Amino acid sequence: MTLWIAITFAAAAVQTLRFVLQKRLKGLGLSTGGATFARFLFAAPLAVAGMAALLLAGHALPAPPPLFWAYVVAGGVGQIVATFCTVALFSERSFAVGIAFTKSEVVLVAVFSALVLGEPVPPAGWAAILLGTAGVLVLSQPPGGWHWAAVGSRAVGLGLLAGAFFGASAIGYRGATLLVDSPSALFRAVVALAAVTTFQTLLMGLWLIWREPGELGRVAAKWRDTAPVGVTGVLGSLCWFVAFALMNAAYVRSVGQVELLFSLLASVLFFREKVRLPEVFGMALLVAGIVGIVLVA
């Protein structure tokens, strides 16, 4: 198996675990902002420590160009805004419809990748991406099926906005890893990750101080519960960044949709939920799309 594919699978698996752990934080009295910040609070020091270890091992840290920092800010802000849009969907009646539209991310990443990074996707790659996206939409079908009256809802707007910002963050991260002057994909990924998580920690910390006074103290007081979120968060992010350092972001995010299969399998194995026929069809489309990406890349 090509290295970037194995790393993307690992990223999706760790991210699934991190979401499970992060969901528990809401039951500990933390706000949505606090639960989100917990991920960055512990991830940033770990990422910086990883970069320091690689520097001690002999890697040289060249001065990144200004465009590197532009990609770091764009990627970091894009991820935060997309996360807040996704959280806002929880209060919408058409939540499931909105979540389905966040899956437009992969298609948007392919477009952004060509326009911003000059990395176009060939026709065969587009076919595989669209096939996998169709599978994701089938798996994301709202209970009771699609109702076109909901397509013009606020939830759809939030879903498309989340997809666009998630796409922008992927392009920012891919761009940042390409601008670190090093032959090592791991070192380029760690440097970009340390820069992004440090920026996000400072930005989210200032936001909480302004909008939610006292939440920083509550996050710190729950460090035994929040630390695992930070550890799994930084491990998952490291895998994503290494994959971005190795391959076109559109292909990485498309293969990364395997996370949906992991979540579905977890619900079947651990919660004994039954798989419906449309879900089997959706899984088949998604797997076919992922196999297509593997063959094209």
Given a cut of 60, whether residue 151 has pLDDT beyond it is no
User: Which pLDDT band holds residue 138 (cuts at 50, 70, 90)?
Assistant: confident
Give the pLDDT mean for 249-268: 81
Q: What's the number of domains the chain is made of?
A: 1
What is the rounded average pLDDT for all residues in the chain? Answer: 84
Instruction: Please give, one letter per residue, the 3-state secondary structure of the chain.
Output: CCHHHHHHHHHHHHHHHHHHHHHHHHHHCCCHHHHHHHHHHHHHHHHHHHHHHHHHCCCCCCCCCHHHHHHHHHHHHHHHHHHHHHHHHHHCCCHHHHHHHHCCHHHHHHHHHHHHCCCCCCHHHHHHHHHHHHHHHHHCCCCCCCCHHHCCCHHHHHHHHHHHHHHHHHHHHHHHHHCCCCCCHHHHHHHHHHHHHHHHHHHHHHHHHHHCCCHHHHHHHCHHHHHHHHHHHHHHHHHHHHHHHHCCHHHHHHHCCHHHHHHHHHHHHHHCCCCCHHHHHHHHHHHHHHHHHHHHC
Given a cut of 90, whether residue 295 has pLDDT beyond it is no
User: Which pLDDT band holds residue 272 (cuts at 50, 70, 90)?
Assistant: low
User: Which pLDDT band holds residue 27 (cuts at 50, 70, 90)?
Assistant: low
Q: Mind listing the pLDDT tens digit for each residue in 64-104? A: 999 999 999 999 999 888 877 877 776 665 555 666 677 77
Containing domain of residue 277, as a range? 3-296
Given a cut of 90, whether residue 116 has pLDDT beyond it is yes
Predicted pLDDT of residue 91: 63
User: Which pLDDT band holds residue 47 (cuts at 50, 70, 90)?
Assistant: very high
User: Which pLDDT band holds residue 285 (cuts at 50, 70, 90)?
Assistant: confident
Given a cut of 80, whether residue 224 has pLDDT beyond it is yes
CB 33 within 8 A of CB 207: yes
Spatial separation of the C-alpha atoms in residues 240 and 11, rounded to whole Å = 6
